[in-house]
Structure 1
Amino acid sequence: MASRAASAHPNKKYAIGLARAFGGAIIFGLPNLMTMEMWFLGFYLDRTRLVLFLLVNFAILVGLSRFSGFEETASVKEDLLDALAAYGVGVIASAATLAVFGILLPGMSLGEIVGKIAVQSVPASFGAIIARRQMGDKTDGEKDDEHDVAERRGAYGWQLFLMVAGALFLAFNLAPTEEMILIGFKMSPWHGIALVLLSVLILHAFVYGVGFAGQEQPPEGSGFWRLLISYTIAGYGIALLVSLYVLWTFGRLDGADLTQIASITGVLAFPSAVGAAIARLVV
């Protein structure tokens, strides 16, 4: 009886983690699930670019599993299983919600249905993988895990990875909108310079300056300039690269000249920089 109860406990814990994951998937995915531009994106998006983006998203989920999964992981295999579970939750939650909204209809082609679900599963899977840390209770069994996570977060490479994850999430939510192109068109070069400076300032302040819960502690012996260059400027560089990649994925740069590309990328890099900072605070 004792061994049976012991084996049932991990299963129950994992089931609770899955339930939280569905909650996280709905919360993070809902803004996109109720956005018309995202519905059409699944229909016309180039399939090669979509598949590549899904692979990138899955790699991000594997990495996030080391910080927040359905259970504590200690190997790449366990991280892969956690990422598969999170992606599965994202797919199921997205498909069910789109069906209830009447967005998925029997007369649609299989390609359109799969495309719409695939696009929506990206933010939903992100919400699923971080649900345990954001929605779970802090039990005694998780205290050691918190210590391990803190050690991982202290590594420079992992901090940059978290910036990539946060930038990708927010960039994904905004890149398909027409407003990114409109704002870039309306801005002057001076507006662009001001936006870059504002992005860098906000990124640095969110992570090190204003005392948010979960705010990073500066590495021992790090002065202002080292933090600015190694973390803030590097983080903004990540935001720019992620923005450029996401815009290319969604075809927003097709036919644009270098000036337009720079302008649109700079606009999207603003929320991407915010996402890079927030990810380090909440994951």
Structure 2
Amino acid sequence: MATERNGRPVRKSLKEYARGIAGGLLFSFPLLYTMEVWWAGFIAEPLELLILVLVTYLLLLGYNRFAGMHPDASWPNVFIDSVEEMGLGLLISFGVLLMLNRIDLYGMGLDELMGKVIIEAMAVSIGVSIGTAQLGAGGQEDKEKKEKESKRRNSKLGMFVLGLCGAIVVGGNVAPTEEILVIGVEAKPAHILAMAIFSLVQSVVVLYFSNFRGTAGGKSDNIFFDITFDTCMTYLTALGASAFVLWFFGRFDGVSFWIAFSQVIVLGVLSSLGASAGRLLIK
């Protein structure tokens, strides 16, 4: 509620902001140090930046709804939290890039400056959201809401949203690099098939046989159906996230369908780990 939000102690709010900053840096520092991301900010079109902002905001809405710091928050508060996290991501991104001498306030065009900051900030803002919700110590309030949160997160929609966030966070750190293209170009069909099978197997292992926290709840008596459905949904989510980030960073430009497909499968190895393990760990 708005009154509850406004009545939150300043000290508690500052702690949440501190956790958000820590999470933003923890999950996005590799991208802040990646040359390909700086270049993407230089050549990005306004429409591409707008799409990235919209997709990121939708991810923040989904994450804050299903696994945020305040699971009982109303939708207006979820919208506000997401805007705050995106704003904090922009500030962190601008400050770090300025510190690293990757932006020049006087000698750089406004388009390039905004492109670099916005692209980096989208990854940072997801880290801010995760850090705000996950880096705090659990208390009595967490225990009282545990059952309700578990039901929400174990819903199919909740699993999809958290899996998508995990895939973007993990796969997004590698997608801009040249190595994905090199592996995709040099890989033979047997390698691509092996990577796809490995991705599926690791998803099954993580989701059902790793004994990770959160892997045992909310399952029906039909374990074979659960394994098949959850694994397929996780892998398709990972492939969709991989295709999106690869498209955004221009990895599909001027290449054949097979090379584009190979890159998606290659990045899917990491993204599927993010979609399976990530959705369990960021609870």
CA displacement, residues 200-221 of structure 1 (integer Å, 9 cap, x when unaligned)? 0011111211112333436121
Tell me what 2:3 maps to. Answer: none
Residue type of the alignment partner of 1:163: G
Residue 281 of structure 1 deviates from its aligned partner by 1.2
Q: CA deviation at 1:97?
A: 0.9
1:125-167 CA distances to partner (integer Å, 9 max, x unpaired)?
1111111332101121222233322110121121112111111
Runs of 4+ in 1 over 4 A off after TM superposition: none
Q: Give the paired residue count.
A: 277
In the superposition, the TM-score normalised over structure 1's length comes to 0.92
For 1:218 and 1:78, locate their aligned partners in 2 and report how far apart those are by CA, in whole Å.
Answer: 28
Q: What CA deviation, in whole Å up to 9, does each residue of 1:226-250 have, x standing for no partner?
A: 1232100121111112211221122
Q: TM-score, normalised by structure 2?
A: 0.92
The CA distance in 2 between the partners of 1:174 and 1:68, in whole Å, is 25
Report if aligned partners of 1:216, 1:280 keep a CA contact under 8 Å in 2. no
Q: Would you say 1:114 and 2:114 are equivalent positions?
A: yes
Mean Cα deviation higher: 176-185 or 32-41:
32-41
Deviates more, 1:61-70 or 1:159-168: 61-70
Q: Which residue of 2 aligns with 1:190?
A: 190
Q: Which stretches in structure 1 are left out of the alignment for 5+ residues?
A: 1-6
1:44 maps to which residue? 43
CA 1:132 to 1:144, structure 2 compared with 1: closer, same or farther past 3 Å?
farther
More off after superposition, 7-16 vs 88-97: 7-16
Q: Structure 1 residues 216 and 112 mapped into 2: Cα distance closer, same or farther (>3 Å)?
A: farther
Show CA shifts across 1:74-122 (max 9, x none).
Answer: 3211111111111111111111111111111121111111111111112
Shift of 1:198: 0.1
Q: Structure 2: how far apart are the matches of 1:169 and 1:216?
A: 24
What is the CA–CA distance in structure 2 between the aligned matches of 1:269 and 1:254, rounded to whole Å?
A: 19
Q: Is the 8 A contact 2:165 2:279 kept in 1?
A: no
| Aligned-partner Cα distance in 1 for 2:251–2:187 | 17
Q: CA RMSD in A?
A: 1.9
AA paired with 1:199? S
Q: Distance in 2 between matches of 1:133 and 1:18?
A: 10
Matches within 5 A, 1:48-63: 48-63=47-62
Percent sequence identity is: 30
Where does residue 143 of structure 2 map in the other structure? 143
2:17 corresponds to 1:13: no
Contact 2:184 2:262 in 1 (8 A): yes
Contact 1:207 1:280 in 2 (8 A): no
SS of corresponding position for 1:37: helix
From the superposition, tell whether residues 177 and 246 of structure 1 become closer, same or farther in structure 2 (CA, over 3 Å).
same
For residue 73 of structure 1, report the CA deviation from its aligned partner: 4.0
Of stretches 134-143 and 63-72 in structure 1, the one that deviates more from structure 2 is: 63-72
Q: 1:74 to 1:261 in 2, by over 3 A?
A: same
The gaps in structure 2 that reach 5 residues or longer are: 1-5
> What residue in structure 2 maps to residue 179 of structure 1?
179
Contact 1:195 1:270 in 2 (8 A): yes
Q: Contact 1:168–1:272 (CA<8 Å) still a contact in 2?
A: yes
Note if contact 2:69-2:134 (Cα within 8 Å) is conserved in structure 1: no
Aligned to 2:199: 199
Distance 1:157 1:57 in 2: 17
Is residue 101 from structure 1 mapped to residue 100 from structure 2 by the alignment?
Answer: yes
Distance (Å, rounded) in 1 between the aligned partners of 2:8 and 2:85: 21
Compare 127-136 and 106-115 and name the one that shifted more. 127-136
Counterpart position of 2:249: 250
Partners of 2:253 and 2:206 lie apart in 1 by 33
The amino acid across from 2:10 in the alignment is N
Matched residues in 1 for 2:141 and 2:248: separation?
Answer: 41
Tell me the amino acid that sits aligned with residue 30 of structure 1.
Answer: F
Does residue 220 (structure 1) correspond to residue 217 (structure 2)? The answer is no
Any idea what SS the aligned residue of 1:40 has?
A: helix
Q: How far apart, CA to CA, are the structure 1 residues paired with 2:221 and 2:7?
A: 48
